[in-house]
Amino acid sequence: MTFPVVGMIGGGQLARMTHEAGIPLGIRFKLLSDTPQDSAAQVVNEVVIGDHRDLETLRAFARGCDVITFDHEHVPTEHLRALEADGIPVRPGPDALVHAQDKGVMRAKLTEIGVACPRHRLVAGPADVAAFAEEGDGFPVVLKTVRGGYDGKGVWVIKGADDPAVAEPFKAGVDVLAEEKVDFVRELAANVVRSPHGQAVAYPVVESRQVAGVCDTVIAPAPDLGHDLALQAERMALTIAKELGVVGHLAVELFQTRDGRILVNELAMRPHNSGHWSMDGAVTSQFANHVRAVLDLPLGDPRPRQPWTVMVNVLGGDYPDMYPAYLHCMARDPQLKIHMYGKDVKPGRKVGHVNTYGDDLDDVLERATHAAHYLRGTITE
């Protein structure tokens, strides 16, 4: 058998769901996980426990893998270059991945290739921040550490020159990026998948609703998005994938501004929360297409199977055990799709998501929202 072995670095839910998508393809999965309790480590047969920041651990893990891919962006770029030098295909490769690891590198590159971004500049301290504000529309200004942030962490909104928070980002010892606070009407995401031989597919552009900086609800496709804007967003994502040499799934988080423009917020080079709807809503899920891309297999059809799909994240709430809630949720909605990650419940932690689909957006949205809130314990009927 020449069925390949995919080496997945990181044991989170993205690895778990990628494994799930790889099973029907007969692909062997090997996982490098921090602990045996990690989300993916519970459901994969071949699990290596080790530190993804240690090059020798990575090298030992990579032996016997035909290709390496990722659950997260935290492997040091120089280690990825070392693996490549050893002859292991790393997908996405370090030259692409650095744009998802470092927001400063990302902003510079997108600007270079003509993709619209918020106004931005690397800043060295509070004085730079004040100067950046003055050259634009003043405060508020957004500050981000260029590495290490996620789900609203590593991001500060500075209200004025005398805002004491302005000193915070500079304490982390990493570069800090200042950005205009975009006046957006909503957030969108354009998800595309690209293979080494250059084939690419685009999922429909989705609307992503955040609560407290964390993705809460995704609607596919984004309601009332004009054809021109949708096409512009898809082209933007396909251009980024090509120009940055991305292999695998690329999520481009976007702002739709009040004055009708589309600006890039963040990039992720792996399956992404804004693509979870595709597991039940698209012909080929983002996870299946990520696997196909990293193996350089022809990509699957990304189109939706019905007019509307809604995903709502299940966040940890007050109840440590969500299983009893299955009874009510499943009985209420026999079409509901539950995806739990096997993670311990902690307040605010993403522990699962639900998908619903159908012809009537109001109905689909109500069903997904109800189920997620019932699982969280914020409603009891």
Going by DSSP bridges, is the β-strand pair 28-33/5-9 parallel, antiparallel, or unpaired? Answer: parallel
What is the nearest approach in angstroms of a second copy to the Cβ of residue 366? 17
- CB closer to a second copy out of 121 and 339: 339
Rule CB under 8 A: is residue 331 a binding residue for a second copy? Answer: yes
Rule CB under 8 A: is residue 346 a binding residue for a second copy? Answer: no
CA-CA distances (angstroms) from residue 35 to 40, 42, 71, 350? 10, 10, 14, 18
Rounded CA separation 160/164 (Å): 9
- b/e per residue, 41-70, with b = 16+ CB within 10 A? bebbeebeebebeebebbeebbeebbbbbb
* Residue 325 and residue 352 in contact, taking contact as beta carbons nearer than 8 Å: no
- CB closer to a second copy out of 184 and 326: 326
Residues 253-312 binding a second copy (CB under 8 A) are 279, 283-284, 292, 297-301, 305-306
Q: Binding mask 301-320 vs a second copy (x if CB under 8 A, - otherwise)?
A: x---xx-------------x
Rule CB under 8 A: is residue 4 a binding residue for a second copy? Answer: yes
Give the total of residues touching a second copy (CB under 8 A).
51
Neighbours of 95 (CB within 10 A): 15
- CB closer to a second copy out of 121 and 292: 292
Query: Was 179 annotated as part of a binding site?
Result: yes
- CB closer to a second copy out of 27 and 110: 27
Distance of CA 64 to the CA centre of its chain: 28
Rounded CA separation 231/180 (Å): 25
Closest of 272, 269, 306, 266 to residue 286, by C-alpha: 272
Rounded CA separation 293/61 (Å): 21
- CB closer to a second copy out of 80 and 282: 282
What is the nearest approach in angstroms of a second copy to the Cβ of residue 303? 9
| Footprint on this chain of a second copy (rule: CB under 8 A) | 1-4, 16-17, 19-20, 23-26, 28-29, 41-45, 47, 279, 283-284, 292, 297-301, 305-306, 320-321, 323-324, 326-327, 330-331, 334-342, 344-345, 352
Binding residues: 103, 144, 179-182, 187, 265-266
